[in-house]
Amino acid sequence: MAVATSSSQVLNNVEAVRATLYEALKNDDKVVILGEDVGSRGNVFLITKDFVKEFGTERIIDTPIAEASIVGIAVGMAMEGLRPIAEIQFADFIYPSFNQIVGEAAKTRYRSNGEYTCPMVIRTPYGGGVRGALSHSVSVEALFYHVPGLKIVVPSFPADVKGLLNAAIDDPDPVLFLEHKKTYRLIKGEVPDGHYVIPIGKADVKKEGSQLSVVSYGLYVHWALEAANQLENEGMSVEVIDLRSVRPMDRTAILQSVRKTRKLLIIHEDNKFGGIGAEISAMVAEEALFDLDAPIRRLAAPDVPAMGYAMPLEEAYMSSPAKMADAMREMVKF
C-alpha cells in the first residue's frame, strides 16, 4: 500500500477495492476475508495480494472450491459477531451458494425476529466484454434483486467503490457487492483518503441533461456517458444517472429526473426480460405515467443463455457507446 500523501489519490477500481479492504482489516479485527485463492495467491486480480502475510490465515482464509460453504460459513461468522467478507471468485460461480444467500443470509433478521443479523458482504466480479465467454461473463443482479432482505450494490467509479464498500462492510445486513471486471483496471479516478461512506440506495447523477434520462449501472454508465457527451456535441442534452445500488433502488432520483426530461432510457448489460430495467419501467409507469412524453425504452442484452466467446457474438450481446448513442438520438428526437 502506498502511503497517502495528499487528501486523495488516483486509483483504478481494483486498487480502490484493495485499499478499502485493507483499511477495513486494519480498523476492525472482526473483519475477515474468505474465498478461493484469496490467501497465498492474493486473489486472481491481486486484490488481496500479501494480505495473508500481514493479517494471517485466521483472517485471510483460503477455502476449497465450494461456494455454498464459503457463504454458509460467512453467515455463521456474521451471526456470531464477525464481519466476514466472502468472495465468490467469479459471479458465474455463485449459483451453488444461492440457498445460503437467499434462503439464509437474507432471511436471518426476519427469521430470528431481529435477535440475529447477518452483517456480511459477498464480493464478486461480474460482467462481460473481456472475452470471458460462457463462465466468466455473467450478470447476476436480476437473480437476486427479487429478494427482500438483500442489498445489491454495483458501483462503477473508484470513489463510489470505496464509499459503498465501506457502507457494505458497516451494514448490519447482507450486501451483495458486484464489481464489473472490465472496469477493474480500465476506470481510474480520484479516491478520497480515509474512511468515508456513500449510503447504499442512493443514485448519482453523473451528467445533467434536459431532454432524456438515461438510467444505468456498472460498466455501461461509462459507455452511456461517452454516448451522452457525443450527443452533447450534436446539440442534444442527455442526463445520465448511475444507480450505484440496484436494491434498494433510488426511486426518488429516477422519478425526479424523468419528471424533468419526460423520457426514460434504461441501459443494462443483463438480459432484458425480467431485468432491473423491468422494475424501473414498471415503477415509472406507476408513478409518473402522465409525465412521460415517449414510451420507456430498455437497451439490454438479448435473451440468449450466455455471452459467446467469438468476438462477433460478444459484440452482438454487449451494447456499445455507438449503439447507446443511436438509441439516445432516437429518443431525444421522438
Partner 1 sequence: MATTITMPQLGETVTEGTVERWLKKAGDPVEKYEAFLEVSTDKVNSEVPSPITGTIRELLVQEGTTVPTGTPIAVIDEVGAASKSAPAAKPVETAETKADRDTAPPKSRDAMAESANLEPVPGFNLPQLEVKSAAASSGTPTMVPPRSNGQREEAALRGVSPAVRRLAREHHIDVRNVRGSGANGRVTADDVLAAAKLTPSAATAPPEAPRAPSKPGPGNTSTYADPIPGTTIHLSSMRRIIAERMVESRKTAPHAWSMVEVDVTNVWEWRKRQDDRFERDTGVKLTLLPFFIRAVVESLAAFPLMNSKFLTEGPSIHVEKDVNIGIAIGLPANLVVPVIKHADKLSIKGIALAAGDLIERARKNKLSTDDLKEGTFTVNNTGANGSFASAPIINAGQAGIVTMETVVKRPMVQDDDSIAIRFMMNSCLSLDHRVVDGYVASGFLADLKKRLESMGPRGAL
- Of residues 186 and 292, the one with the C-beta less far from partner 1: 292
Name the H helices within 130-266.
Answer: 141-144, 158-170, 183-186, 219-233, 251-261
- Of residues 112 and 210, the one with the C-beta less far from partner 1: 210
Quick one: angle between helices 251-261 and 276-288, nearest 10? 60
Torsion (CA) 238, 241, 246, 251 in degrees, nearest 10: -90
Q: Please list the residues that pair with 189 across neighbouring strands.
A: 11
Range 97-122 burial, b when 16+ CB lie within 10 A, else e: bbebbbebbbbbbeeeeeeebbbbbb
- Of residues 172 and 295, the one with the C-beta less far from partner 1: 295
* Site residues (vs partner 1, CB under 8 A): 262, 289-294, 330, 333-334
SS3 (DSSP) at 299 = strand
Q: How far is the CB of 292 from partner 1 (least distance, A)?
A: 5
Q: How far is the CB of 204 from partner 1 (least distance, A)?
A: 24
- Whether 222 sits among the annotated catalytic residues: the reply is no
- Of residues 107 and 329, the one with the C-beta less far from partner 1: 329
CB 213 within 8 A of CB 264: yes
Q: How far is the CB of 286 from partner 1 (least distance, A)?
A: 12
- Of residues 49 and 262, the one with the C-beta less far from partner 1: 262
Q: How far is the CB of 330 from partner 1 (least distance, A)?
A: 8
- What is the Cα–Cα distance from 201 to 264, expressed in whole angstroms? 20
- What is the Cα–Cα distance from 23 to 76, expressed in whole angstroms? 23
CB 191 within 8 A of CB 166: no
Q: How far is the CB of 237 from partner 1 (least distance, A)?
A: 12
Torsion (CA) 71, 73, 78, 82 in degrees, nearest 10: -120
Residues marked as catalytic? 136
